[in-house]
A and B are shown apart, each in its own frame.
Chain A
Amino acid sequence: MRIDRTVVQNWLLPVAALVAWEVLGRAGLAPRYLSTPSAILAALWEITLTGELFTALAASLYRVAAGFALGTAAGIIVGLGAGVLPGVRHFFDPLVSFLYSIPKIAFLPVFLLLFGLGHASKIAIIAFSGFFPVFIASRHAVLSVNRILIWAAQNMGTPPRTVFFRVIVPAAAPQLFSGIRIGLAHAFVVLFAAELIGSKVGLGTIISYGEEWVRFDLMFAGIVCFAVLGFLSDRILLAIRTRMLKGQMIGTEEQVMR
Chain B
Amino acid sequence: MTAFARQTRALIARWYSIPLLIVVWQLAVGSGLVESRLLPSPERVFTALVTEVGNGTLVYHAGVTISRALTGFVLAALVGIPFAAAMARSTLIRNLFEPIFFIGYPIPKIALFPVFTYIFGIGTPSKIAFTVLECLYPIVVTCYFGFRGVQTRLIWSAQNCGANNVTILRRVILPAALPSIFSGLRIALPVAIIVVVITEMIGDSIGLGYYITIWSTRFTFANVYAAIIVIGICGLVLDQALLLLRRRAVYWQREAA
| A residues in contact (CB < 8 Å) with B | 5-6, 9-14, 31, 33-34, 90-95, 97-103, 105-110, 112-114, 140, 143-144, 185, 188-189, 192-193, 196-197, 207-208, 211, 219-220, 222-223, 226-227, 230-231, 233-235, 253, 256-258
- Is A231 touching B224 in the complex (CB atoms < 8 A)? no
Main secondary structure of the interface of A (DSSP, over half): helix
- Is A105 touching B102 in the complex (CB atoms < 8 A)? no
Q: A189-B194, A231-B107, A253-B145 are in contact. Are A108 and B201 (CB under 8 A)?
A: yes
- Is B201 touching A95 in the complex (CB atoms < 8 A)? no
Interface size for B (C-beta < 8 A) is: 54
Tell which of B13, B15, B96 touches A12, judged by Cβ atoms closer than 8 Å.
B96
Tell which of A6, A185, A197, A235 touches B108, judged by Cβ atoms closer than 8 Å.
A185
| Interface core residue of A6, A207, A257 (most chain B CB under 10 Å) | A257
B234 / chain A contacts, CB cutoff of 8 Å:
101
| B residues in contact (CB < 8 Å) with A | 13-18, 21, 38, 92, 95-100, 102-103, 105-108, 110-112, 114-115, 118-119, 141, 145, 190, 193-194, 197-198, 201-202, 208-209, 212-213, 216-217, 221, 224, 227-228, 231-232, 234-236, 239, 257
Tell which of B38, B98, B118, B208 touches A113, judged by Cβ atoms closer than 8 Å.
B38
Q: A101-B239, A189-B108 are in contact. Are A110 and B15 (CB under 8 A)?
A: no
A233 / chain B contacts, CB cutoff of 8 Å:
106
B95 / chain A contacts, CB cutoff of 8 Å:
5-6, 9-10
| Interface core residue of A11, A13, A103, A207 (most chain B CB under 10 Å) | A103
- How far, in whole Å, are A103 and B118 apart by their CA atoms in the complex? 25
Closest to B142 in A: A253
B231 / chain A contacts, CB cutoff of 8 Å:
101-103, 106
